[in-house]
């Protein structure tokens, strides 16, 4: 289990709705320092927050950020992009950029900070979603499915060093990324972050925040038509 009290936390995508909630919740749980990483970092009104420039598509930016945040004990890979185009018709650059940002970037950052996490016997939190197992997110789903498997693989690699790895999964959340989703049932960011950090502090490997995510995850062991009923008539 990993306590956030006196921890040094790095949150990627810190300017977004979920990222901001992660930063605030870490502070509320006693973090000594929070690196708030973003492509265009903003100023915060808490001196414990350190704005950090980070572009997950740029390996040099990742190395610089890791050098500046070498005392990190808890890394939260939260940053992501969500283009809406189809895999077979959207510009291929949009698809590769999504995979670079949502999958390759977090792997690079984790590699860069692995020595710090190992030294501290700290923790890694990879933020996925229900779309890790549900293809309606197109390129986003592809990238998050990859992050799910990368989370499992990294967990096995870091376990001998006492580093906790938590995969976090949940349904639609009221953030700028979901601004075009008209559902009235979207989570508040704070309602997602609380169970994620509860799971971290309880020593869990994985947290499925809501009923939707639990149902979709359970359907993975069933025929593919359980998730995609339209295929049953083909």
- pLDDT for 187: 78
Q: How confident is the model at residue 16 (pLDDT cuts 50, 70, 90)?
A: confident
pLDDT at 178 over 60: no
The contacts of residue 218 (CB under 8 Å, 6+ apart) are: none
CA atoms within 13 Å, Cβ hemisphere of 206: 17
Length of the chain: 234
**Model confidence over 142-176: pLDDT tens digits?**
999 999 999 999 999 999 999 999 999 999 876 66
Please report, for the chain, the start and end positions of each structural domain, with discontinuous segments joined by +. 8-233
- Whole-structure pTM value: 0.94
Domain covering 8-233, topology:
Rossmann fold (3.40.50)
CB 168 within 8 A of CB 126: yes
**Model confidence over 66-122: pLDDT tens digits?**
999 999 999 999 999 999 999 999 999 999 999 999 999 999 999 999 999 999 999
* Burial call 146-169: b when 16+ CB within 10 Å, e when fewer: bbbebbeebbeebeeeebbbbbbb
Percentage of the chain modeled with pLDDT above 70? 94
User: What are the φ and ψ backbone dihedral angles of 8, each rounded to 5 degrees?
Assistant: -110, 110
């Amino acid at each position: 289990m990993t306590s956030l009290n006196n921890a040094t936390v790095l949150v990627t995508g810190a300017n977004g709705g979920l990222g901001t909630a992660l930063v605030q919740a870490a502070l509320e749980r006693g973090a000594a320092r929070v690196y708030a990483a973003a492509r265009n970092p903003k100023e915060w009104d808490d001196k414990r927050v350190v704005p950090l420039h980070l572009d997950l598509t740029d390996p040099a930016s990742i190395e610089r950020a890791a050098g500046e945040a070498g005392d990190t004990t808890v890394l939260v890979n939260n940053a992501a992009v969500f283009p809406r185009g189809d895999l077979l018709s959207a510009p291929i650059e949009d698809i590769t950029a999504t995979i670079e940002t949502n999958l390759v970037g977090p792997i690079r950052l984790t590699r860069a900070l692995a020595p710090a996490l190992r030294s501290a016997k700290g923790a890694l939190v990879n933020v996925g979603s229900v779309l890790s197992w549900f293809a309606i997110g197109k390129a986003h789903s592809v990238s998050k499915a990859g992050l799910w498997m990368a989370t499992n693989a990294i967990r096995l690699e870091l376990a001998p060093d006492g580093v906790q790895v938590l995969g976090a999964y949940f349904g639609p959340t009221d953030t700028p990324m979901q601004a075009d989703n008209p559902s009235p049932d979207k989570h508040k960011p704070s309602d997602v972050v609380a169970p994620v950090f509860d799971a971290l502090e309880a020593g869990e490997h994985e947290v499925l925040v809501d009923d939707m995510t639990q149902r979709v995850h359970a359907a993975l062991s069933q025929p593919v038509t359980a998730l995609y009923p339209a295929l049953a008539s083909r």
